[in-house]
Chains A and B, each alone.
Chain A
Amino acid sequence: MDLGLDVSERGGFAVLSVHGEVDVYTAPKFRERLIELVTEGKHQIVVDLEGVDFLDSTGLGVLVGGLKRLRSHDGDLLLVCTQSRILKVFEITGLTKVFSIHESVDEATGVASGATTEDRAGDSADV
């Protein structure tokens, strides 16, 4: 089992795309990559979970740690996730209220332009 971690840039955000399964075995690699990004001065990070097949509380812990680290630098960590089975673990643990969760990287990075979650929720009919 391997974990894919790809980094790109979009609209002033570092986008970390995660592929594979995030559990106790792969989480250290994920945590290490997030910390590297912060150390490199990337303080606005989008973590794209669309390629994640499985995520348990170890993965949640990495994300919570990342958010805490970024907020200490006045930064933020946004998530992209539409998979119900992944969203469910955020919902159960109440972390949907801690993280800003978006339907696409474009939507997440659009946060920089000032759109709010409520705005976007009402924009579903827009192109």
Chain B
Amino acid sequence: MNPPGASATLVAHLIVLSMISFGGIPSMLPDLHDYLVTGKGWITDQDFANCFAVVQAIPGPNMILMMSFVGWKIGGLPVAIASAFATFAPPCAIAYVVFRWWERFHDASWQGPVRRGLAPVTIGLVIAGGYVMARASDVGWASVAMTVAAAALLLLTRVNPLWMLGVGAALGGFGLL
């Protein structure tokens, strides 16, 4: 069993991490892993990896859910809920304040170049994220073909992406990828 203070310590650590998780929650994972698995030993390596894998396969706010499952393993349902709040509440507050400020200066002359300059870098990173994901799930020509087909269908047709994901799950499930 984990020590009595474990739950509170976990939640406090999540609050700090979520406030510095620039680039999204995945940037919290290496630190959290070191802290919980290697440092404190409150959760096993396998449990941590399973929490990550499972949230990829379910809908909903995955990374908030992942932190909830980590909290669940350490202190049960109350800690799961507290971990969820620790993960999204501080970033939400920061987003609100910064966005109000950003909108207030919407017409300022410095914001045009900043907005036009930020967007392309962001977009390049999004496409790179998709490419890295494709490479991670690439086990041969069939999965590459799935990735290309999904991209083409989304660009050229109005097919609902849920169908594509369903077909992907089915083909994967039948062992065709």
Does chain A bind chain B? no
Q: Which residues of A contact B (CB under 8 A)?
A: none
